[in-house]
Structure 1
Amino acid sequence: MDRITNIRVEEKKYHDQCYESSKLFEPGSWLHKPVTTVINLINQYKDQEYISILDLGAGVGRNSIPIAESIKPRNGKVVCVDLLESAIEKLKSYSQEFGVEPYIVPILSDIEHFSIEPNEYDIIVAVSSLEHVSSAQVLEQKLCEMNAGTRTGGAICIIIASNILEMLVENKQELDPMFEVNLSTERMIDLLKQQFAGWEIEQLIVKSLAFEINRNGQPVKLTSDCITFVAKKS
């Protein structure tokens, strides 16, 4: 099995298990609540009559369900792209449960092969998903598409990991991190600034993260820098 296939098998296992064992918005997992940065950005557009939003790597709707709830009194759509069938099925179910089904457009696709139409979206959100495209070159190409796909006055919110390390807790043996793209923090920031040159950067924050995960029944310490990048196309 090649490296990319192996990573995707592992990610599928991890997410399928998480979506099965944790209910959306119930305390106890990262599905507990949406990302504050995303919701704050959406709220900046609350007076816009029609809004078109793209959520790349939407999962079961952690961000897209609250986004759809916020546009409910108005008109608009949240296009939700995810690679996992389990995520898309649960997204459809949750969108019915929370009464936002007319606003959610679920699309089963990996981010790489989903074509972002030029000038189509007011806001594009990608939370912990772009590091799972197949290469740094594809990431660059996707960021370029995101730029072209955002309308003037619109915005992007990218949350992405860099400097990723995985280590066995037991003996501190370093493992190959299960992330397709693993750039240094400096290079990732340079890439974001380069791809969105001329945009107004509203937020650029780097936060160090460390937590324990399970890989094939073994406890693994995962550390990374988490970059939050929010920019407006002026």
Structure 2
Amino acid sequence: MNRLHHIRSEEKKYHDYCYDQYKLFEQGSWLYKPVQTVIDLLPLIEKDHPRVLDLGCGVGRNSIPIAQAVKAYNGKVICVDLLNSAIEKLDQYRKMYDVEEEIELHQEDIGQYQIIRNEYDLILAVSALEHTASETEFEQALRQMAAGTKQGGINCLIVNSSMEEIDLTTGDNLEVLLEVNLSTAEMMSKLERIYDGWEVLRQVVKPLEYEIVRGERKILLKTSAITYVARRESND
């Protein structure tokens, strides 16, 4: 098994376990609530027929609240995720939360997904783009996001950088099981270059650490999480 297949196999095990063990919007995991930065952006897309793209949507912790918000405006949320477990759960949740018509599902690798140009009022990728297959694919996805955004539209990214994995039993530093693990400086440089000329609405780098389990091993994940929100210039 090559490195990419190994990483994605481990990611699938971790996410499948989370999706089975924890329900959306119930305490106990990161599925408990949507990202506040995403919720803060919702008033900016309250218009007729808003179009939203959620890359790496998971089971819908962000896309469900977005769909609820745009329902009154005849909006649509396009949800893309590689894992069939995520898409299957989101299909259940969109029915449960009465937003089946507002959410469109696509099971696809986000690094390969073709984004329509000038199509979206909001594109978000929350802890998603670092799971593209390579640094080249990462940049291509970013450029597609930018090109797929309408004038006055917004891109919202939360991306991990400078990640470390530490075995909590031995204290050993382990190989980081992440497809794209750039330093914070490298990641910021890419974002600033691709979004040159856009209005930066929010830019925050926050050190985070949390425990996960891989097999029988308890792991400490350390990351510098970048929140980057930018709005494309409008000619209005």
Q: CA deviation at 1:173?
A: 1.1
1:32 aligns with 2:29: no
Corresponding position of 1:158: 157
Task: Describe how 1:77-116 pairs up with structure 2 within 5 A.
Answer: 77-116=76-115
- Stretches of structure 1 that go unaligned for 5 or more consecutive residues are none
Structure 2 counterpart SS, 1:111? coil
1:130 alignment counterpart: 129
Gaps of 5+ in 2: none
Q: CA deviation at 1:214?
A: 0.7
Q: Distance in 1 between matches of 2:85 and 2:203?
A: 32
The one-character-per-residue Cα deviations of 1:181-217 (angstroms, maximum 9, x if unpaired) are 0000001001001011100001110000011111121
Kept in 1: contact 2:45–2:122 (CA 8 A):
no
Alpha-carbon distance in structure 1 between the residues aligned to 2:87 and 2:187: 29
**Could you state the TM-score of these two structures normalised by the residue count of structure 2?**
0.97
| TM superposition shift of 1:81 | 0.1
What's the secondary structure of 2:181's corresponding residue? coil
In structure 1, the residue matched to 2:74 is: 75
Query: Between the two proteins, what is the percent identity of the paired residues?
Result: 48
Shift of 1:35: 0.4
How large is the RMSD of aligned CA atoms in angstroms?
0.7
Aligned-partner SS, 2:45: coil
**Equivalent residue for 2:217?**
218
Shift of 1:158: 0.2
2:2 counterpart of 1:2:
yes
Aligned positions, number? 233
Tell me the secondary structure at the aligned position of residue 222 of structure 1.
strand
For the pair 1:13 / 2:9, whether they are aligned, the reply is: no
Q: Determine the C-alpha separation between the residues in 2 that align with 1:116 and 1:71.
A: 20
- Whole-angstrom CA distance in 1 between matches of 2:163 and 2:217: 18
Give the 3-state SS of the residue equivalent to 2:78 in structure 1. strand
- Counterpart residue number, 1:167: 166
Give, in whole Å, the separation in 2 of the partners of 1:216 and 1:81.
27
Q: Deviation at 1:76?
A: 1.3
Partner of 1:61: 60
Q: Which amino acid aligns with 1:213?
A: I
Structure 2 residue aligned with 1:42: 42
Number of the residue aligned with 1:191: 190
